[in-house]
Amino acid sequence: MTIPKSSSKTLKWSKTSYVLLSGFLLLLFLIGYVWWPLLDEYLAQFNPEISIWLQIDWLLIGNFLVMSILIMLNVDLKRDLPFGIIALAGGFIIEAWGTLAGLWTYYTYETPPLWIIPAWPIAALSVNRLYVVIKAWLRNISEAWFTLFYWLIYGVFYLLLLRFAWEGIAHPLTWFALSFCGILIITEKDKRSSLLILLMGSVLGYFLERWGTSRLCWSYHTGGMPPFITVLCHGMASVAIWRVYLVYLTLLKRSHLSLAKSLIPPDQ
């Protein structure tokens, strides 16, 4: 994905941002309504004898506040809607892999818990916004440096991934995940973008993982709050979503249908 022409230097708010904001708030409402027993269980933990300011989950609020602001910037529904759908489907596959293969477990013991899936498109779009900024900031750095660090960082990542996933090596989804990641790493041509997305996804992933593991919402077979590899896996997931989105764009551009052409975002 290239940097949008209208936002190569800064992220901007547009009228379409209100549409995405409305959809985001509606999504939060639906999650709270459908999974009210989980929300009620969480609210029941508040102790009236302790100051509410000491019981508020500031990390959770901070995570969603930052992501809420990020996804409202540079909104383009032709880009963000398919990107979000891909992230939603990808998130379901990833959560199914991890929970079915025994790599991580949610406190509800669901495989996977559907209430966590909507967080994936929100996080993916947030990473996309961060990527836009960091790519513009680092545009003067030589491609040779990115190529060097690409192979170094991804090489270490894949070795750590193999070690982490070995616990669930018997499950077919583990083989799929390892193969898919390997193919993405080996076939990458835009190493600058891939590396930056990995890093931005990992930065955001750390705070999400820190919240989830420290609150015992989910736990990994390796332990840790969070394990380092799971932070990097958030970055890899962001890269995978981006690569699938690029395939989607390629199909639109190669299509002879006028409808397909009309779906291509203006920055492509």
Q: pLDDT-based confidence at 38, cuts 50/70/90?
A: low
201 vs 34: which has the higher pLDDT: 201
Pairing of strands 104-106, 218-220: antiparallel
Task: Centre a 10 Å sphere on the Cβ of residue 121 and count the other Cβ atoms it contains.
Answer: 24
With a pLDDT cut of 90, the percent of the chain lying above it is 60
The strand pairing partners of 104, in sequence order, are: 220
> Which pTM was predicted?
0.85
pLDDT band with cut points at 50, 70 and 90 for residue 263: confident
| DSSP at 13 | B
* Predicted confidence (pLDDT) at residue 195 exceeds the cutoff of 70: yes
Angle at 23 between CA 20 and CA 29, to 5 degrees: 145
pLDDT tens readout for residues 201-231: 999 999 999 999 998 899 999 999 999 999 9
Write out the two tokens for 155. 């090489």
Report the alpha-carbon distance of residue 200 to residue 205 in Å, rounded.
8
Least confident of 127-141, 224-238, 245-259: 245-259
- The more confident residue out of 197 and 7 is 197
Please state the domain extents for the chain.
Answer: 77-262
Overall average pLDDT of the 235-262 stretch: 90
How confident is the model at residue 145, as a pLDDT?
A: 94
Those residues whose C-beta lies under 8 Å from the C-beta of residue 123, and which sit 6 or more positions away, are 67, 87, 204, 205, 208, 234, 238
Q: Quick one: pLDDT at residue 52?
A: 76
